[in-house]
Structures are given as structure tokens and as C-alpha cells.
Structure 1
């Protein structure tokens, strides 16, 4: 049986970052990246690229900190969005530059991962490559499959008689020929992927029926690249510290400005200021998009409150105005549920019948990893979604305590927005074959990982042989991937330094090691926070945030024992937006810190995370 020091599942943005960083710090160790696709890139993989696919971000905000995307190398100018093809080339060159391209094994699916119940731990992976199946042993395992691997397709009455393509928006490239042959197409969904599919067809002169589910979350917030009356670049706006303070954040305060956060969220005056900010931001977007100027565009107005919307808050990145296609009749919007299908016809709950040449479903993704974990029942220890139990984290008493703490810190979250009262999940075409449970996701716990990466259980904190990278959604993708990769690598090697805490103003800083109970409490608090902070997103299922990306980076950087405030002075720290350039030297800083610890005879080393027992 082949044995490797590290196996990374997933060759997307997060998987590549982990492999690169682990190799940098452990050049003599063996590793492999396994991906079920035919190319690297994940969302930006070669087999998922269609001509109009572009990033929401513009040049300079969507790149690894230590591998800048330059105009000379990639042909993208300042103020431009990157095409899917550019992103694929960029990720390929990143893998080439850091010597990990040859470590990727394509068309290789991990069927199961069985933990070895010994002091050393490790995982036996059952692998399928083509028609063959074999096993390998991994001392360490990183799941970096993310939340856009396995699509959810709806189960619709009569779909067998539809006699036309039904496919998920993920597979739009596989049906690219329909952009030249179809006369009428139907797109189901209100997510950014639905907007992209609608534009891909309508911009080619094809008539589009756009269905927004009456029982769904409604259309996502779609912002221009520059927002607020000051016309601030949205990607930079969300990474500006003084504006991040206006977002309730349970892991905020690491930057040392806890008092300011407390003012904004625990006082009546502060909450009035924050409410005004979110109102201005939301109203600005509604005004700029001119939703009320036409009966059809009015149907695309978001149904959710902007403050409670997570990463589905997206950006208009099209070369021409998509709203013009709605106003001129190229796109017809229907707010109704799909009740059934018949021959090339979609039947809606309002009685409308839509003749169409295809049905493209932008209906989301399964939020569980595409791997079966063994032995049976290990999901709970791993922190994966599972049925709550009396011995788990999510006991009624523990949940009540966590909620009480959250509401005491952020009273505004008690006043939850009224979501769609008709809301109901989309029935999937089949039960997942990769998870250890077939229960409905509404009965399961959310993801419960410490720092959104590692299981808070005694077993796995002893063996330190598994981590999850990219099991979250946010606006800070590449920066978070970079920081998570370093954090995971340090965690695997027991190189996370002990935290430093000042006892009083008169006493020296003391070293504090967290207990397992501390970790479990904090993990539950962060997981439960998502339920109240982002009810219009996926907060009740997994980490999903926007303005809380910078505080999350602060958290990881502090854990690594590095500088949280990375600007040149107080004014710059609070007013200048953070970007990839601010974390460019992160790995080097960490290496230098380790050298300093070793030179000092090991003083300062310690297990930051826990004391087992």
C-alpha cells in the first residue's frame, strides 16, 4: 500500500494553497493532491469554463498574496474582471511556480477515508481512478473539496417526459452548443450562477424564461463594483477595518479595538449608526440598479435584509447591462414554483406553461464533503453535519448558553428579519452516497470545526491528522486560503505558539494554553453565531460571511503568533483596505519566528490549542 505524509483532496484554490505551503515548510515529506476532475482549479477548472464566465472581483483583489497576478503576465488591466480562462491559467502557473503541479492526480475520486484508531492515527483512503480501485495510507489528510463540488438537482414530477436537457449550472460548458441552437431556454434559481446563466443565453439573442422560486430565498443582492454615495470599491470596502466594525462578529475584537465594537453593537447610539450604514448600503444598490423603473426588473429586487445576507451578496460583472435584457423582453421573469414538467414544457404554480428547449438549474450545492468517513458514526467527532446527540456539542443547554452570550454581545441579532414564510428546500434527485447519514439537512447540526478547520475532539486533537480547508464561503477567498494553509501546516507540526494574555496592567504577559473544553465552547459559539448573523445566507449550515473576513484573518494571524495590525500607523490601519499584498510575507514571517524560537532553546513553544484530559 502506498504511504504518503500528506494527501490533499481537491485541487482548487484552497487545496493548492495547502499543498504549496506544506511543501514549503516540509520539503522532504511526500504529498499528493487528488482531484476527481480532469484539471486543477475547482470552480475555475478547465471543464467548468464557459465563454462569459468571469470573477466577481477585479484585478488586485483575487490572487494569492505571494503570487501576484500581473497585467504583463495575464493580460488583465486595472479595473477589469478576470475571465475563467485567465483564472485557470493563473492557478496553473501558481502550481508550476511552487513545484506542486506534478503532484496532482486527476480523475481520482476518494470513495472513503477510514481513520486508524491508534496513537499515531492516519487514514486509509479507498481511491477510484477510472475503472480501477486501490488504497493508500495518508499520515495527514486535508479535505479541500469546498462547497461547490456536488450540485443539487431538483426532483420534478414529469421530468422523464421532458425530452430536453435538464442540467445544473455547473455543467453549462457541457451544453455550450445550446447557445447556438436553442430558441427559448429556462433558468431556475435566483443565485449569482442563475444570473450568469441568464446573461450567457440572453446576450446571445436567445429568449430566456427566468424562474425565481416563490418558496425560495429570492434573487441575491447584486451590487455594482462601486457602491455607497462615495463610490467605494466593494471588494475593498468589506476589508476596511473601520467598516468591518459595523458588522456584528463573534470573533471580532482580535484587532485590539474591542471597545469600538462594543460601542457599535452594545449601545443604542452605536446600533443606530450601524443600522444607518446597512440602510445606506442597501438603498444605494437598489437605487443604482433602478429595480422599480420597470415591472420585470422589480421582480429581481432582493427579498432579504442586506445586513443578514452573506456571500451570496454578489457583483455585476457583465460587459453589458443585464437589466437592459430584462427591460427589452429578452428575459422574462417568473416568480413561481415549478410544479411539473411535460414534453419541452415547464409548468408553474401560477398556471403558466413555458415552452422551452432546456432547463438550467442554478439550485445550489450539497454542503457535505464528497467522501465517506469510517468507521461509521465518526461524523460527530469530525465536526461534520450530524444528528444532534445528548453527548455532543449541540445539547439544548449548551445551545441556550451560546445564544445567551451571542445576544448579550449583539442585541441587534435578537431582531431577526422575516425571511420568506413560504420557504422550503429543493428536493434533491437522489440521496448522497458519500455521507454517513441520509437525514434531511434541516435536522442536522451545522459544521462545527475549530477555527472552521479542525475537529474539536480529543481523538483528533491528539492525532492531528485531519483538517478541512475552504469549508466556508466569504469575499476573502485567496487571502483566507493562504492563511488557512499556513495555520493547518503549523497545526499538523505542533508549531502553533501558545497564546499570550496580559493578566493586568501591572503584570507581565502570561502564556496560556487552551483546554479542550475551551475549544469546544468556542467552536459551538462560532457555529451557532452563523444561525443568527446570516439567516439569509448559509450561516445555519456552515461559515458564510462577508464583512467578517478581515476579523477571521486577524484570528488566524494571531494564532500563528504574527502581527495582526499590518498597516503603517493607526489612521492607515482603520481607513486603508486590506488586500493580498498585506499578507505577502506571512509564510516568511512565520519561518523567521520559528527560527527565533529554536535559537532561544525552544522557549515560547507550546501547544496553543489544548490540553487533553
Structure 2
């Protein structure tokens, strides 16, 4: 790869129309950066009636709390005020906090740039292979039209299209009488769920519970809300998410620094400390016991008994399914489950609905009554529904098994991986998680929000700058051929399979085209270096740098630095 400036076209790309698909955090910050960078015709398309994506008004349910770096789910252009309940929650952000912030951001910076209730039905190449035709449906008028764009940024995320297991399609045939609701639609169906049961403390005979299928965060949130409403709840799962918890809020120099990131190996070890921790036997022992101690400490803080099904969690080190619980709080999921207000059945899987129309049957033959069923069964790729096979092939959005035989990482910290589970594993060839490798030379299509990290707001903002530089044809370190881009993408896919063996069995490509869960600071450094600007911005000396707080304000001047770079001056 060469750091060269492509020859400038006579046509001014800043005048071309750009379509941003999705109004979640990735769509909002991408649109903002494109406008700040001089693109004059940028439009956001969203099927929702408000901004936010998964944090939109339609999807924020009572009790939802952010599972991310505390108090840092924001962009550099707009500060975020402390949560209303900061003193009681250790600074945790609620769904309402995030929704209000994103709505304020859109109102202040993106007014009249968003087309609400506009559902994207299909995206395909324009005539003669130029630009893009986007078929949309106006949900209010129920009409369809084709919009034309020179460039597209896909920001649909990985939690926009619910995954329904085969079980969901058998409810009607089995005569199941209660509601069957995917967790994505939990807010809109709350009244139906509450009405199908009665509070346990107001009725002498407890009725059938609401059964929640799944062990992830949405399953826990749904179960906890219903339990707080006094409803009988049962959660059936095989394995639940790993957890982080502490007796007091962790200080910023732990929670918001590079400390956790350097305790997790990255595909490229940049510093001596990282190389010591992950390539030496002593370092690997330190890493192993650190993550095991963190896991045990979290169970202790939350008071999880040794024989509790809640200890059937994914690995904190080998998986990305981790919930940051913060400090212990009465009324949270774990407190309710430990006290018996949420019944737990695990390890178990639901096989079918019972013939009586009021129960579910497990794979082992056990039968449990059910007044309603909540399917917390995850999501599937949004890309498959809006691109036909021809377009997916043209762009390079297809899926394939990871080629893990060509690449090796002989890290001591990865010496004893868990046994790979059965089932198919897939990756998509997306360079840096931002551009389909096959389309990289066209500079007319990008993706934001498909990099899975523990600090999505920071990563999305830096990614938006990278995408804008890519569209502007700025000096940018990118592969100079499709073959080189495909090879780099294959390298990333093989790394994900090596680092997180379970992840490729349950995620979809529109959620995790690249995975840098704990190591998001290292990923950001790579993107900054691609743009030719300063990396490792949190600073510090040889002793203090792992504990320096990584803050959004570090990148508030990134546009000015890129402008200076474009003019040929050092930023």
C-alpha cells in the first residue's frame, strides 16, 4: 500500500449527491462529517419517524441502559450532560439519555437533512455503472420512488432486522394463544405483554409466566422490566452474556483508558508492553489471570451463587458478548434473578410450542406453561434484503468462510483457545470494515457502523472522517488494487476467527465486518495513520500511557488537521 494522492478529477465531487442509509449513531456522525468537509448535497434516509436507530423513540423501552463506556456515548462536536441518575448508577447512561442526545445532535447540526419514514427497498448500480439507484417507499403515503446518488454510505447497523427462528413460524400452526414478540418490538408490545398476565402479588394463584427465550442483553432487559412490573417471568437460555461489575464505579483511568485494550491482543502489536503481554509466557499468564479474576470478581459483586445458571456465561476473554453492569443496583436483572423474581432454566433450548396452546416444549422434553413468548434471538444482516444477488456480487458484499490457513498469530496469550463450535462461520471482504474490498477503487460506496467495538461513538466518528477522506480522494493509505484490498480483508477475517472463535457463528456481516471489541483504540490508531494524522492521542509517557483517559475531545480538531494535510502543511 502506498500513501499517494490520486489524480484529481475535473468534476467537483463536493457537489455530488450522497445518500446515507440509516439515522443511528453511524448515520448521524457520517452525515455531519461529510457536511463539515464540504459535501453540499448529503441526505439521510431512515424508515423510523425519529433519529437514533436502536436508540430511536420507537425502540427505547423503560429501564434500558447503555452497555458501553460510561458517559462517553457522544460526539466531539457536542458535549453530553451527566445522566439524571448518575449518583445512583455510577454514571450509567439510560436509553432516554442517549435518545435525547442524538435528537439534540440532529436538531442542531442536521436539520432538513433527514428523510423520515423512508424505507430503503433496494440499492443497485445506476445506468452505465455510474452512481446508485435507490428504491424507497414513503411509509406515510405508501408510495415508491427511485432516488439517485453518486455515493452511498451504508449505516444500517446490525440490529435493524430481527432474526426469527423457525420456532416463531410455528406458533400459529400450533395454536399458541399468547403473544409472540421479538425483543426488537418489545416497547410497542409492552401493553399486550402486561395484559396477558396479572401481577403475582395481587392474585392468590400465579398464572403462566411470560417466557423469554435467549440469554443476551435484550433478554435480560425484557425479563427485568416485566419482573419489576410484578409479572411472572421465565428465561430459558443455553449461555448468557459475560459480565463486568464493580463495588464502586471504576475510575476513568481504568474504564476509559487503554488499559483493557492492551490486556487484549490486537492483530498488530504496536508497543513493547503489548508484545510482552501477548508473546511471552509470563505475559500470557498475567493476561489469563487478569481476565479470570475480573470474571470472578464480577460474580462476587453481583452476588451470583456458585450453582446459579447465571454463571453459564460466555468467556470474557474469548468472546464479544459482554455486558457492563457497573455497580450493583437493586432491581437490575441479576438482583431480580437471584431473588427468584425471574425464573431461570438453563442450559436449555426451546424446541416447539405445546399442543395445548399454552406452553413451550424443550429439546429434552420438559414442558413449561407460557402466557406469552419473547424471542430475544438476535438479528440478521440488513444487507441481504436491500441488495439483489447481482449488486452484492458487483460491490463485493457476499459472504464466504474465513481463510484462516494463510495467516498465523503465534501469540502466547492465544495459545489455548476454546474448541471451535460447530456450525458455519462467515466473513465479508470489507476493507477496514469500511469499504467492500472489491469496490475499493471506485470510491463511491462505504460502510459505517459495522465495526464491532466497545466504544462505537468514538470509532464511528473517526471512521466518518476516513470515509470523507476516501470520497474526497485525499491522500489516504489504502490498497492500490482490488487484490491487495481483498488480501487485507481476508487477513482481518482470519484474525477475527483466531481471536474470537465463537463470534462468527452468531454475528452477521452488517454488524461485524471488523471486530475490535476491547482493542478499539488500536483500530482507531490505524485509521488515523491511514489519514496521515497523529495517532495514540491520549498521550502519556512510557509509564503512564496505558492509563491516560481516551476522550472524544482528542479528535475535535481532526477536520482542521486533515485540512492542513490537504493543503500540504503539517497539522
TM-score interval (norm. to shorter) = 0.7 to 0.9
Q: Distance in 2 between matches of 1:304 and 1:565?
A: 31
**Change in 2 beyond 3 A, CA 1:447/1:127:** same
Report the equivalent of 1:42.
53
Equivalents in 2 of 1:84, 1:123: separation in Å?
Answer: 35
Deviations 1:238-277 (A, max 9, x none): 6533442221111442xxx1x3322222222222222122
1:88 partnered with 2:75: no
| 2:263 corresponds to | 246
Distance 2:399 2:300 in 1: 43
Q: 2:530 aligns with which of 559, 564, 570?
A: 559
The answer to whether the 8 A contact 1:110-1:126 is kept is yes
Show the counterpart of 2:182.
Answer: 168
Normalising to structure 2: TM-score of the pair?
0.85
* 1:455 matches 2:446: no
Match of 1:611 in 2: none
Kindly tell me: are residues 212 and 84 of structure 1, through their superposed partners in 2, closer, same or farther at Cα, counting changes over 3 Å? same
Of 35, 54, 57, 1:23 maps to 35
Evaluate the alpha carbon distance shift between residue 478 and residue 377 of structure 1 in structure 2; reply closer, same or farther with a 3 A threshold: same
CA deviations over 1:308-365 (Å, ceiling 9, x no partner): 0215344258653433322332211112211221312112234332222210111000
In structure 2, what is the equivalent of residue 401 of structure 1? Answer: 406
**1:371/1:139 CA distance change after superposition, 3 Å:** farther
- Mapped pair 1:495 → 2:516: no
Q: Distance in 2 between matches of 1:561 and 1:589?
A: 9
Whether contact under 8 Å (1:238, 1:547) holds in the other structure is no
Measured against aligned partners, the alpha-carbon deviations of 1:127-160 in whole angstroms (never above 9, x if no partner) come to 1113211111110001000000001122227411
Which residue of 197, 221, 232 maps to 2:250? 232
1:580-595 → structure 2 map (5 Å cutoff):
580-595=552-567
| Gap change, CA 1:497 and 1:262, over 3 Å in 2 | same
| 1:579 to 2:548 alignment | no
Query: Displacement of 1:456 after TM fit?
Result: 1.5
Distance 1:316 1:353, change over 3 A: farther
Deviation, structure 1 residue 58 = 6.4
Q: Which residue of 2 aligns with 1:427?
A: none
Q: Is 1:198 aligned to 2:223, yes or no? A: yes
Task: Detail structure 1 runs of 4+ shifted over 6 Å in the superposition.
Answer: none
Q: Identify the residue that residue 456 of structure 2 maps to in structure 1.
A: 477
Inter-partner Cα distance in structure 1 for 2:405 and 2:453: 27
Q: 1:306 maps to what in 2?
A: 316
2:156–2:449 CA contact under 8 A, matched in 1: yes
Residue 73 of structure 2 corresponds to residue 66 of structure 1: no
**Which residue, 492, 495, 510 being the options, matches 1:526?**
492
Residue deviations 1:146-175, cap 9 Å, x none?
000001122227411111110111111111
Give the number of equivalent residue pairs.
529
- CA displacement 1:42-76 (0-9 Å, x = unmatched): 011111122211212465321112211024xx746
Equivalents in 1 of 2:299, 2:503: separation in Å?
19
> For residue 435 of structure 1, what is the aligned residue in structure 2?
none
Asked if the contact 1:7/1:141 (under 8 Å) is kept, the reply is yes
1:270 to 283, 288, 296: 283
Distance across 1 between alignment mates of 2:474 and 2:194: 56
Checking the alignment, whether the CA contact within 8 Å between 1:8 and 1:143 is kept in structure 2 is yes
Residue 506 of structure 1 aligns with which residue? none
CA drift at 1:526: 0.9
* Per-residue deviation, residues 13-59 of structure 1 (Å, max 9, x unmatched): 000010011011115x2121001122111011111122211212465
TM (norm. structure 1) is 0.80
Shift of 1:522: 1.8
Shift of residue 381 of structure 1?
5.1
Change (3 A) 1:325 1:226: closer
Confirm or deny that 1:361 pairs with 2:375: yes
Compute the displacement of 1:305 (Å): 2.5
Corresponding residue number in structure 1 for 2:519: 548
In structure 2, C-alpha distance between the alignment counterparts of 1:159 and 1:169, rounded to whole Å: 16
Task: Please tell me whether the aligned partners of residues 147 and 472 of structure 1 are also in contact (alpha carbons under 8 angstroms).
Answer: no
* In 2: Cα distance, 1:468 partner to 1:80 partner: 31
Distance 1:536 1:283, change over 3 A: farther
Question: In the superposition, relative to structure 1, how do residues 36 and 370 fare at CA in structure 2: closer, same or farther (>3 Å)?
Answer: farther
SS for the counterpart of 2:156 is: coil
- Choose from 360, 369, 373 the match for 1:346: 360
**2:148 alignment partner in structure 1:** 137
| CA shift in 2, pair 1:68/1:192, >3 Å | same
Q: 2-side partners of 1:260 and 1:118: how far apart? A: 52
Name the Cα RMSD after superposition. 2.8
